[in-house]
Amino acid sequence: MQTILVTGGTGFIGSHTCVELIQAGYDVVILDNLSNSKESCVDRIKEITGVGVKFYKADLLDLESTKRIFDENKIDSVIHFAGLKAVGESVEKPLEYYENNIGGTINLIKAMRDANCKSIVFSSSATVYGVNNKVPYTEEMTTSATNPYGYTKVMIEQILNDMTVSDKDWSVVALRYFNPIGAHESGLIGENPNGIPNNLVPYIAQVALGKLEHLRVFGDDYETPDGTGVRDYIHVTDLAKGHLAALEYAAENKGFQPINLGTGNGSSVMEVVKAYEKACGKNIPVVVTPRRAGDIAESYAETSLAKKLLGWEAKLDISKMCEDSWNFTMKNPEGM
Ligand code: NAD
Ligand code: UD1
């Protein structure tokens, strides 16, 4: 049985991936500093799977603690989710983002190298396609960023790529996620945004709960079918399954490989609102406001590479994403 170290494993995408890993028969070790998640998530993972995971409350910025995990466990491969992810906050606190995301990743790579573990699946983002590429985004397009968060993803991809050049034994898969939403079907794990959410679906969920009055629709004058922004929303469970396929790919292939994880379909803000209204049986009041700075009209993936290399494709549609988000929100109105 293979043992996988999951950094950021108590977070939103990490926790769903741990569930899928356990259900597929992997042994899971979680490293998380709990800066954006709670230890109770470990119990929730056990409740869903019936299997316990080994949990280390540790910070990737602490190299010694990170190395100790590799000394105490025979880690076959790493899935690296740990990082800070709020775009706006990264503009306010660039140093914190560069230090945590890049510094943390460098420590992780050092610990892996010393333990001779050279297989890693990294959480990249569609944000690396920047603002100048045309949809659908394909993996060979040039990468760029418009904010410190995005730059950390561009730079970490570069660092990991450089590792594969310096040592041919490294296998790196950089998964470029589009817009992950939804929650586990059980309603036991899901997204836990701090304070007022910035992202669309967590915000709508709070409106549906009655905690926020209305959704602000950031612009209805984009060149899209209904004028509102279009994104490639992907169910977090589909995304989690993509990581298992990426692990298998990394076990067979050396080198650096970026791969999009999206559905290939775009939904507009108003389409998501309609789907959520149907899922929760309530009216979601909206107010159209000017565009949000930094937003683009459309973002969606070309998905053929994931199909070809991983044999993976997203299966769940926007209705299911909204139903599972609402189920989780109702069961956890104060978060997890
Ligand atoms: P999350 O905040 O729920 O999970 C990240 C986890 O990493 C948290 O539990 C946090 O406590 C932990 N962490 C942060 N810094 C750490 C450190 N130095 N040491 C140890 N643990 C640390 O976020 P998520 O939505 O699950 O995202 C996971 C990854 O996917 C992130 O790297 C994120 O940038 C990337 N990503 C997310 C999205 C999205 O929309 N959620 C989109 C694209 C990419
Ligand atoms: C955001 C990040 C992106 C990150 C992604 C992860 C920004 C500028 N970009 O992408 O870097 O990789 O999250 O999921 O923060 N919207 C509203 N009202 C709201 C919230 C959002 O109308 O209250 C609209 C936005 O204008 C956009 C769509 O909903 O058209 C999705 O927004 P959001 O969920 O924030 O994701 P992205 O902006 O795509």
Which strands form 267-268's sheet, in the order they lie side by side?
267-268, 230-231, 298-299
Looking at the predicted structure, is the pLDDT value of residue 336 above 90?
no
Catalytic-residue membership of 149: yes
Q: CB–CB of 21/74 below 8 Å?
A: no
pLDDT digits (tens, 9 = 90+) for 142-165: 999 999 999 999 999 999 999 999
Question: In the chain, where are the structural domains located?
Answer: 3-181+234-262+302-314
Residue 142: how many CB atoms within 10 A of its CB?
10
What would the pLDDT profile of 173-211 be if each residue is shown by its tens digit? 999 999 999 999 999 999 988 789 999 999 999 999 999
CA distances from 330 to 167, 175, 210, 319, 334 (A): 49, 30, 11, 16, 9
Q: pLDDT of 31-68, one tens digit each? A: 999 999 999 999 999 999 999 999 999 999 999 999 99
Instruction: Tell whether ligand 2 has an atom less than 6 A from the beta carbon of residue 270.
Output: no
Mean pLDDT of the chain: 98
Ligand 2 pocket, residue 233 CB under 6 Å: no
Q: Which of 97, 129, 149, 222 is catalytic?
A: 149
Who's near 328: CB < 8 A, 6+ residues apart? 183, 184, 187, 189, 190, 191
Residue 59 Cβ contacting ligand 1 at under 6 Å: yes
Q: Closest Cα to atom 14, ligand 1: which residue?
A: 83
Q: What is the mean pLDDT of residues 273-280?
A: 98
Q: What is the pLDDT of residue 1?
A: 87
* Ligand 2 atom 33 nearest Cα: 199
**Ligand 1 centre and the CA of 125: distance in Å?**
11
Q: What is the mean pLDDT of residues 76-87?
A: 98
CA gap 295, 298 in Å, rounded: 9
CATH superfamily of 3-181+234-262+302-314: NAD(P)-binding Rossmann-like Domain (3.40.50.720)
13 Cβ below 6 A of ligand 1? yes
Q: Which of 35, 59, 67, 178 to mutate to test the pocket of ligand 1 (most atoms within 8 A of CB)?
A: 35
Distances (CA, A) of 99 to 104, 105, 261, 319: 7, 9, 26, 38
What local confidence, expressed as pLDDT, does residue 192 receive? 84
How does residue 281 score in pLDDT terms, banded at 50, 70 and 90? very high
Which pLDDT does position 193 carry in this prediction? 80
